[in-house]
Amino acid sequence: MADEQEASAADADDVSESEVDEADTSGIQTGDFVRLDFTARTVEDGQLVDTTDPEVAEEEGVADQDQSFEPRVIIVGDGHLFEQVESDLEGKEAGDTGSVVVPSDEAFGAHDPDDVRTISAEKIPEDDRYPGAHVDIDGEHGHVEAVIGGRARVDFNHPLAGDDIEYEYEIIEQVEDRIEKARGLFDAYLGIDLEMFIETDEVEETQLIESDDDDDEDAEPEYETVTTEKETLYVESTPELTMNQQWMFSKQQIVQDVIEHADVNRVIVREVLDGAAAGPMGGMMGGLGGELDADVEDALEDADVDADELVEELSEE
């Protein structure tokens, strides 16, 4: 009888532990992609810090900024938002809402009085010598508090230093689509929404042929060309991407992250030219098939060059 009671107690413990484990792993977890709608404001005075809501952006007068206001895709636990916010998402489901306050020390830091300094006004560009102006001095960013005579008081703290930040959010959905994951990563890194698609390509690769003859150390290595299938994410480049400094300096890291999370073998970024705008040569020579620009023709005449012969020679090459 005692043995049966001990067995029952052990079974109950197993069930209890199983229920706990299941509860710990249900809902959204670290590493999951979610589409999140949120608005962040300072707790003390309600100053807008960030939002994905176009109506909030319109009300706050920031809707005309060069950014899109729509739910954002993030990886939970990957540092896309403050840790407190991402931790609060764990265990939740699509459709759930929440509110999280991030203390100032864990948000933009405490306000340091030593970072408010008086400097020569000559260090500030003349057009920025007024209270409220944002300036860069000796590699530090700050805002001007006052300008008196030849001196200026500049606060080099973050503008939100010392402020607790409250996030109100709604989980729109958990993202499973690979392309949506990739687009979310590009947007998180670069703030750019890009067109992309996935295709399976046949790729020729050169591989070393393994030899069974381990004794022949002088044998030349032999290679063979094999055709393999690779899942390829094609990303259509834009001028905004090409000129993005983050992309210039961190493209390898970004691509590796996309390959890992979107489960593809490689990423190809390609430039798409639709031919709508003629380049310099097209404007001057009509693509080498038309008449030369009048100014160019006059210049060639002054140089004693036959324009028709030049066009014909270039067309033949």
Q: Specify the CATH number for the domain of residue 98.
A: 3.10.50.40
Mean per-residue pLDDT for 291-317? 55
- Identify whether 226 is part of a domain: yes
Mean per-residue pLDDT for 211-217? 64
Quote the pLDDT of residue 283.
43
| Residue 167 and residue 33 share a domain | yes
| Residue 141 and residue 263 share a domain | no
CA gap 164, 179 in Å, rounded: 35
| Residue 297 and residue 264 share a domain | no
Residues 137 and 121 sit within 8 Å (Cβ to Cβ)? no
Mean per-residue pLDDT for 294-304? 55
> Which domain CATH number covers 257?
3.30.70
Number of domains in the chain: 4
| Residue 262 and residue 186 share a domain | yes
Quote the pLDDT of residue 286.
41
Average pLDDT in the chain: 83
- Identify whether 72 is part of a domain: yes
| Residue 263 and residue 205 share a domain | yes
Residues 234 and 198 sit within 8 Å (Cβ to Cβ)? yes
Structural domain including 233 reads: 177-211+221-270
- Identify whether 8 is part of a domain: no
CA gap 161, 109 in Å, rounded: 5
49-63, 109-123, 279-293: which range is least confident on average?
Answer: 279-293
- Identify whether 298 is part of a domain: yes
- Identify whether 9 is part of a domain: no
Predicted model pTM: 0.69
* Phi, psi angles (nearest 5°) of residue 186: -60, -40
| Residue 89 and residue 133 share a domain | no
| Residue 266 and residue 233 share a domain | yes
- Identify whether 7 is part of a domain: no
| Residue 142 and residue 92 share a domain | no
CA gap 62, 66 in Å, rounded: 9
Give which of 101, 107, 108 is closest to 43, Cα–Cα: 101
Quote the pLDDT of residue 56.
94
- For residue 119, pLDDT over 90 is answered with yes
| Residue 197 and residue 137 share a domain | no
| Residue 64 and residue 167 share a domain | yes
